[in-house]
Amino acid sequence: MTHTGALCPAKMVGTMNRYSAFAVAREAFRDHAGWRRAWGNPEPKRRYDVIIIGAGGHGLATAYYLGKNYGITNVAILEKGWLGGGNTGRNTTIIRSNYLQDPSAAIYEKARSLYEDLSQALNYNVMFSPRGVMMLAQTEHEIRGYKRTAHANALQGVATRYIGPDEVKRLCPIIETRGPRYPVLGALWQPRGGTARHDAVAWGYARKCSDMGMDVIQKCEVTGIRQAAGQVTGVTTTRGDIDCDKLGIVVAGHSGHVADMAGFRLPIESVALQALVSEPIKPCMDVVVMANTVHGYMSQSDKGEMVIGGGADGFNNYTQRGSFHHIEETVRALVETFPMISRLKMLRQWGGVVDMTGDRSPILSKTPLGGCFINCGWGTGGFKAIPGSGWATAEMIARGEPGPLAAEFGLDRFAEGRFIDESVAAGVAH
């Protein structure tokens, strides 16, 4: 899982292999001796124009779009662990943009549309699979809520529609639509939602960043943020001091911890959210289903495992584990909706530390510290947003001010009461 690349040259610019069918054929004739490392393993330099803390999907995407959209390539991405080893490698890989509020729909749809051709843009197969996402309506309130969302999405240019129980059954025959307790009354259907390979998203961005001359530095923990006259001047790390003009904090569940180093607090609490997968079985489900009333969501991976999203802990913690009873609650709910999974064995379970804001919407914002920007608060739903989030954060860092995608997600919205309330609209699986 860790690719630290000890053997690679320090300078990687322009030396990347281009992946193609032709390259595979070429390498087949020379024992695959020509493949180069996908990204470098450089020593930190003394100074960068921009430092991004956190080499997860959002941090790497931010760096990538800084280079691609703004030509800023003197960039370091610092990661205390390994690349994509936090929530990027711990989610259920669902991609959708069927949000109620306009600012959410805009940034999540930007992300979803970037996912459409991300494999081509990165020359790295992220296995985007727009297999369709349905959110089941199992109460009268959900019917009304999802119809409202479908209307809102129509105005926002997000392709979703409300479908009836017969179409739910046609799209996903393994659902028990008749109840008994919560019959399926309909669903909000986003045909171009789906899944992607989560690790590949991090790896693809890292590879491109490295190719643009950026330094992806793993095993480099930030231990302090240096500042002078209200302006950020650099960071202190386990691998020495590094100076920078601008700093992006993109560390998800540990945002509060890093913000504390920078001297400000956040309206965020960190909790463990867990997921689990079953033993692999033959293909039985080619859509993503979210059942918010009974509190569970499920899709089938390409390996055949049923990928199941569990509940978040109700109390602050940084454990990457999650409370045991949530597994039972989640599986119990899903067995009612998908009776055929009742005999399945669960293969493994894991947790990630998610950063929850008061209105369940993210924060893309300037901070009280000059030159320091933050991207956090994606809570339980960050993976789907990675390309759009990186796009918007890069714009904010490059220009010094949030652009149209990030503008509504500032920290000041809490003081002003200008919330982007998705907690009800998105239900459990935000």
Partner 1 sequence: MLTLTCPYCGIACDETELSPGGEAHITRFGPGSSDQEFETYLFQRENPKGVHFERWRHAYGCGKWFHAARNTVTLEVYGTYSAQVFEPPQSVKDAISAKLPDWSWRGLA
Nearer to partner 1, 181 or 325 (CB): 325
Site string for partner 1, 351-390 (x = CB under 8 A): ------xx--------------------------------
Of the candidate residues 28, 180, 314, 343, the single one contacting partner 1 (CB under 8 A): 314
Regarding 222 and contact with partner 1 (CB under 8 A), the answer is no
Residues 6+ away with beta carbon under 8 Å from 101: 152, 361, 420, 421, 422, 425
Mode of pairing for the β-strands spanning 75-78 and 215-217: parallel
Which range touches partner 1 (CB under 8 A), out of 91-99, 204-212, 307-315, 342-350? 307-315
Minimum distance of partner 1 from residue 271's CB (angstroms): 9
Which range touches partner 1 (CB under 8 A), out of 38-46, 97-105, 112-120, 313-321? 313-321
Regarding 160 and contact with partner 1 (CB under 8 A), the answer is no
Mode of pairing for the β-strands spanning 222-228 and 231-237: antiparallel
Residues 16-55 that bind partner 1 (CB under 8 A): none
Regarding 70 and contact with partner 1 (CB under 8 A), the answer is no
Of the candidate residues 73, 88, 323, 393, the single one contacting partner 1 (CB under 8 A): 323
| Cα–Cα distance, 220 to 192 (Å, whole number) | 38
Q: What order do you get walking across the sheet with 346-357 strand by strand?
A: 161-163, 186-190, 133-137, 288-291, 296-300, 306-312, 268-278, 346-357
Peptide bond into 180 cis (omega under 30): yes
Structure tokens at 360: 């369940």
Nearer to partner 1, 140 or 412 (CB): 412
Regarding 268 and contact with partner 1 (CB under 8 A), the answer is yes
Which range touches partner 1 (CB under 8 A), out of 169-177, 217-225, 317-325, 381-389? 317-325
Minimum distance of partner 1 from residue 265's CB (angstroms): 5
**Three-state secondary-structure class, residue 114:** helix
| Cα–Cα distance, 270 to 354 (Å, whole number) | 5
Nearer to partner 1, 92 or 330 (CB): 330
Regarding 283 and contact with partner 1 (CB under 8 A), the answer is no
Nearest by Cα to 281 from 305, 297, 302? 305
Regarding 414 and contact with partner 1 (CB under 8 A), the answer is yes
Nearest by Cα to 110 from 389, 313, 396, 311? 389
Q: Site for partner 1 (CB under 8 A): how many residues?
A: 23
Minimum distance of partner 1 from residue 255's CB (angstroms): 8
Regarding 318 and contact with partner 1 (CB under 8 A), the answer is yes
Regarding 399 and contact with partner 1 (CB under 8 A), the answer is no
Nearer to partner 1, 133 or 363 (CB): 363
Which range touches partner 1 (CB under 8 A), out of 78-86, 302-310, 312-320, 391-399? 312-320
Structure tokens at 135: 């959110």
- What is the DSSP secondary-structure string of 240-276? EEEEEEEEEE--GGGHHHHHHHHT---SEEEEEEEEE
**Three-state secondary-structure class, residue 232:** strand
Minimum distance of partner 1 from residue 356's CB (angstroms): 9
Tell me how many helices (H) and strands (E) the chain has: 11, 18
Mode of pairing for the β-strands spanning 161-163 and 186-190: antiparallel
Minimum distance of partner 1 from residue 223's CB (angstroms): 13
| Cα–Cα distance, 129 to 193 (Å, whole number) | 8
Binding site for partner 1 (CB under 8 A): 254, 256-257, 265-270, 313-319, 323-325, 357-358, 414-415
